[in-house]
Amino acid sequence: MVKYITPYGFCFGVKNSLNKVREIRKSRPQARIVFVHPLVHNQATNDLIYKETNATAYSPDIPQKDYRGAFLVFPAHGMTNVDRRFAKSLQANYIDCTCPVLINTKKQIIKNLEDGKNVFFLGKRNHSESKFMCDISKEITFIGDDEIETYDYSKLNNYSSIYLYPQSTLSKEKLDKFNSNINKYYKGKYVPHHLCVECLKRWNNGKSIIPAAKDSFIVVTDPSSSNGTEFANILRNEFFINEIYTIQSYEELKELKEKIDYRGDIYIGSATSTPNKLVEKIANNLRIWSFLKRLVPHIRGRK
């Protein structure tokens, strides 16, 4: 039986970003829409919105004057002041597609800074979200996720309190390791913010499954998606005796057709930027293949 790990497909933040671009195209049919960076970490979704809104990708090889008056699209993981200055330098408009959840987190950080609290941000270096959050103020202390094992936690005792904000799609394993080190070496007040709630729902619902030995899991995700990769890793750590597959397209599913054990249940989950229709297409094909695999031995037996 093929079963979904819910929720699957686009999260609210991705839907919000896509709709913002669609609204510009609807209200400005003749406008030039240009993506400065990929909108989300999923090539299929980016291709979809490019085609739907007749948009193009920014290229430094095109004369700057050609972007005058265009609408520059900035990604869901956050638009920085540098991005705004860039749009202004081109005399272009911009579409800020920052996820509303990240905007609320930014407001919390600003409030904490105004109240004199010590704010730390834990994330991947050069990730859009890390740049977006650390762009708020130089008073924010950034810690890279590659420093978790080597960071000198004892120096944090110079602070009476620490308010930590992790990158929303950071590996839960890394955050748990960081929290463990903080609790071991830091003596002050520690207030950690949570990871992306939408991601946690998927991860926790996946972990709550009690699979049989022949059951398998498929996570539909682009390799560049942090939350999709983390989803697959969580399942592998939780269910080490089961097969865990990651695919990003229907073409990749076809390569798994003969590898999947159809005698067990097949659980399908996805990253937050994977199109719903792609997940459902994969599920429907698996149902057909599963039915045929079970039907053939039955027919042969009757002969």
Q: What is the pLDDT of residues 59-77, one digit of tens each?
A: 999 999 999 999 999 999 9
Distance of CA 70 to the CA centre of its chain: 27
What H or E segment, with its residue span, contains residue 177? helix 172-185
- DSSP state letters, 83-102: HHHHHHHTT-EEEE---HHH
Last residue of a domain, one of 42, 68, 98: 98
Q: What's the pLDDT score for residue 176?
A: 95
137 and 184, same domain (yes or no): yes
Q: Are residues 74 and 125 in the same domain?
A: no
Indicate if 48 and 134 belong to the same structural domain: no
Any idea what the CATH number is for the domain that residue 255 is in?
3.40.1010.20
CA distance 159 to 9: 41
DSSP state of 41: S
Give every strand in the sheet of 71-74, ordered side by side.
56-57, 33-35, 71-74, 93-96
If asked whether residues 190 and 202 sit together in one domain, one would say no
In which domain, by residue range, is 293 found? 2-8+198-302
Q: Based on the domain organization, do 169 and 207 belong to the same domain?
A: no
Same domain, 261 and 184: no
Are both 109 and 160 inside the same structural domain?
A: yes
Based on the fold, state whether residues 191 and 266 are members of the same structural domain: no
Total tally of structural domains belonging to the chain: 3
Whole-number Å distance between alpha carbons of 295 and 293? 6
CATH number at residue 52: 3.40.50.11270
Name the residue with tokens 């599913």: 253
Return the ∠ at Cα 228 (arms to 49 and 255), rounded to 5°: 85
- The answer to whether residues 141 and 74 belong to one domain is no
Largest alpha-carbon pair distance within the chain? Answer: 80
CA distance 211 to 168: 28
Question: What are the residues whose beta carbons fall under 8 Å from the beta carbon of 49, sequence distance 6 or more?
Answer: 18, 21, 22, 39, 55
Q: Which has the closest alpha carbon to 75: 139, 138, 13, 26?
A: 13
- State both tokens at 100: 């509303």
CB 292 within 8 A of CB 254: no
Helix residue ranges per DSSP H, 95-154: 100-114, 128-134
User: Considering 53, 70, 98, which residue would you say is the last residue of a domain?
Assistant: 98
pTM of the shown model: 0.88
Q: What one-letter code names the amino acid at 279?
A: V
212 and 289, same domain (yes or no): yes
Q: Are residues 74 and 162 in the same domain?
A: no
Nearest of 131, 125, 82, 75 to residue 99 by alpha carbon = 75
| One-letter amino acid for residue 240 of the chain | F
What is the per-residue pLDDT for 296?
Answer: 56
Boundary-marking domain end, from 170, 195, 220? 195
> Per residue, what are the HEC states of 178-235?
HHHHHHHHCCCEEEECCCCHHHHHHHHHHHCCCCCCCCEEEEECCCCCHHHHHHHHHH
- In this structure, the number of other CB atoms found within 10 A of the CB of residue 300 comes to 8
Q: pLDDT tens, position by position, for the chain (303 residues)?
A: 999 999 999 999 999 999 999 999 999 999 999 999 999 999 999 999 999 999 999 999 999 999 999 999 999 999 999 999 999 999 999 999 999 999 999 999 999 999 999 999 999 998 999 999 999 999 999 999 999 999 999 999 999 999 999 999 998 899 999 999 999 999 999 999 999 999 999 999 999 999 998 999 999 999 999 899 999 999 999 998 889 999 999 999 999 998 998 889 999 999 999 999 999 999 999 999 988 887 655 544 455
Residue 181 contacts residue 153 (beta carbons within 8 Å)? yes
On whether both 181 and 205 belong to a single domain, the answer is no
For residue 66, report the phi and psi dihedrals to the nearest 5 degrees: -75, -15
CA dihedral 218, 208, 227, 44 (to 10 degrees): 40
